[in-house]
Amino acid sequence: AQAREKTASWTVMVYMAADNDLENFALADINEMEEVGSTEDVNVLVQIDRSEDYTTRDGNWTDARRFFIDYEERYSPGRVTSPEVEKLGEVNMGDPGVLADFVVWGMTTYPAENYALVIWDHGGSWFGVASDYSENGDELTMPEVAQAMRQITLQTGVPRLDLVGFDACLMGALELYQSLHGYAE
């Protein structure tokens, strides 16, 4: 599942900051993605960082990993069956460089006509999203998300993503969208 030759219609990248009390829900959400999986036209990618504290499911690994989400024929709750394409070790999901690295990797490894980014975790509106308990609760502030988006556009040459969304509480404020103006359609 590493590096596709054909340019897909969409590459959807899900940045799952689950090194916190949402770890169990992250595995469940990956299982939901596996019910559909990637297709020839749509690449679904996940970067997930897990915690040491909240669940021992799926082998209880606690570092960050990247997955190419495949269709799962037989539902296996709490277990990721999609191919793991990269082990990252422990990373700080609250670091804008880590976010940018994931998106640049996704866009260059799985090229597409359209790109979507979903940032998944607890959300605190302007104060931040994507908290990492292993890093003293560090999270991405909205200026840091904008910083990551600047880095992504500079490194890929793609002027803006087609969609940037948040699967997190309180992330629908006008100020958030204003901070991403110019980086997403």
4-27 pLDDT per residue, tens: 678 999 999 999 999 999 999 999
Residue with tokens 């499911």: 57
Query: Mean pLDDT throughout 69-76?
Result: 83
- SS3 assignment, position 49: strand
- Given a cut of 90, is residue 56 above it in pLDDT? no
CA torsion angle 46 51 56 61 (round to 10): 60
* CA 157/CA 155 separation, integer angstroms: 6
104-146 pLDDT per residue, tens: 999 999 999 999 999 999 999 989 999 999 999 999 999 999 9
* CA 169/CA 149 separation, integer angstroms: 21
Full-model pTM: 0.94
Query: Mean pLDDT throughout 64-75?
Result: 89
| Listed range (61-65, 70-74, 146-150, 156-160) with the worst mean pLDDT | 70-74
Q: What is the mean pLDDT of the chain?
A: 93
**Tokens coding 149:** 């988006």
- SS3 assignment, position 109: helix
DSSP string for residues in 48-100: EEE-SSS---GGG--SEEEEE----SS--TT---SPEEEEEES--TT-HHHHH
Angle in degrees, CA 142, 10, 95, rounded to 5: 25
- Predicted confidence at residue 126, as pLDDT, reads 86
* CA 11/CA 163 separation, integer angstroms: 11
DSSP string for residues in 120-153: ES-B-GGG-EEEEGGGTTEEE-HHHHHHHHHHHH
Q: Give Dmax (Cα) for the chain.
A: 42
CA torsion angle 135 136 140 143 (round to 10): -120
